[in-house]
Structure 1
Amino acid sequence: MAASGALPGLFFCFAAMVLLIFVSVSPPTWNSVSFLNANQYSFGVFGYTGSKVQVGYYFPLPGDINTGILHNLTFVLILYPIAAGLSGLALLFGLCGAAYHRAGTVFMSLLSGLATLCTFIAWVVSMSLFGVVRSRLRSNGIGANWGNANWLALGALVALILGFCTAACGVFGNYRRSRNNR
């Protein structure tokens, strides 16, 4: 193997990609992973339980939760699938870096940094968005609880931070082939 320095970054980028894929297929596609659960609804990246898959949505519950700002913040959730794609690309470049050349590890570092930025922005927006919605629903007497997608996204964010740091350190690993392999 050409560069064992790229392997920790590979592991963390793979873990982040899997977690971000789970977050991205939240309701209405898969109801087991959601950001917020209220009454019979689970809310995800592309809609809620029973809705069609769409980017940006209004909440189907009564109260003052369907403002223009909250609706516009649901559009930002598209950053989760984008971050999943970027971490997947980082994984592919990391495989090239681990098997062949330092340039793959450099690109893995850059893409994992970009995926970290996307995930951080999406996580802050989703926590703010669903925190406001949860608070407003509870003030209207509707039971609302956090879903597990918030914590999966936080795990992906931590994995991407570690993936970026280890990939950046892996760039300086040993990429020379030994004389016995020539």
Structure 2
Amino acid sequence: MAASGALPGLFFCFSATLLLIFVSVSAPTWNTISFLNANQYSFGVFGYTGSKVQIGYYFPLPGDINTGVLHNLTFVLILYPIAAGLAGLAFLFGVCGAGYHRAGTVFMSFLAGLATLCTFVAWIVSMSLFGVVKDRLSSEGINASWGNANWLALGALVALILGFCTAACGVFGNYRRSRT
């Protein structure tokens, strides 16, 4: 190994990539992963149970939840797949950094930082969006509950923060090959 200092960042970036992929394929693609569940509907990044896969959607439930602001916030959920791609690239550069050269670890740190920023913004928006929808549905007498995608995204955010920090520290690791 050229740099064992890059390995913790590599592990955390890989973990975050997997979690963000799970979040990105939430309902309607995979209904067991969702942000909010209400009236047999599971809401995800690209739609809800029974809808076509799309960027941005209206909620198929009664009440005053189909405002322009809430509809526009569903477009921001596209940041989850973008963050998954950035975390995946960070992992690939981390493999280069762990095996070959310090530059891979530098790029891993940079991309992990960008993925952290995207995940943070997407998580804040999704918690706000689905929190408002949940409250409005509860006031209408509709039972709504949080889904597991919120916590998977939070886990990915924590993994990316740790990945960024350990990758940044790993940049200063030993990259010389031992001569025997």
Interval containing the TM-score (normalised by the shorter chain): over 0.9
Q: Does 2:72 match 1:72?
A: yes
Structure 1 runs (4+) deviating above 6 angstroms are none
Identity %: 87
Once residues 179 and 32 of structure 1 are traced to their aligned partners in structure 2, the CA distance between those partners, rounded to angstroms, is 52
Find the residue that maps to 2:88 and give its secondary structure. helix
- For 1:128, the equivalent position in structure 2 comes to 128
In structure 1, the residue matched to 2:30 is 30
Distance 1:97 1:113 in 2: 16
Partner of 1:62: 62
| Deviation per residue, 1:126-165 (Å, 9 max, x gap) | 0000000000000000000000000000000000000000
- Please name the residue that 1:5 is paired with: 5
TM-score (norm 2): 1.00
Q: Spell out the pairing of 1:25-174 with structure 2 (5 A cutoff).
A: 25-174=25-174
Q: Give ranges in structure 2 of 5+ residues lacking alignment.
A: none
Q: Secondary structure at the match of 1:104?
A: helix
Partner secondary structure for residue 27 of structure 2? coil
Distance (Å, rounded) in 1 between the aligned partners of 2:178 and 2:20: 38
User: What runs of 5+ residues in structure 1 fail to find an aligned partner?
Assistant: none
Three-state SS of the structure 2 residue aligned to 1:5 is helix
Output the amino acid matched with 1:153: A
Amino acid in structure 2 at the alignment position of 1:134: K
Distance in structure 2 (CA, Å) of the matches to 1:18 and 1:81? 11
- The Cα offsets for residues 98-139 of structure 1, whole Å up to 9 and x where unpaired, read as 000000000000000000000000000000000000000000
> Residues of 2 paired with 1:34 and 1:27: CA distance?
6
Displacement of 1:178: 1.1
Q: CA deviation at 1:177?
A: 1.0
Three-state SS of the structure 2 residue aligned to 1:179 is: coil
Describe the superposition over 1:41-67 as per-residue Cα deviations: whole angstroms up to 9, x where unpaired: 000000000000000000000000000
1:11-62 C-alpha deviation (Å, 9 max, x unpaired): 0000000000000000100001000000110000000000000000000000
Q: Which amino acid aligns with 1:28?
A: P
Distance 1:21 1:171 in 2: 27
Residues matched between the structures, number: 180
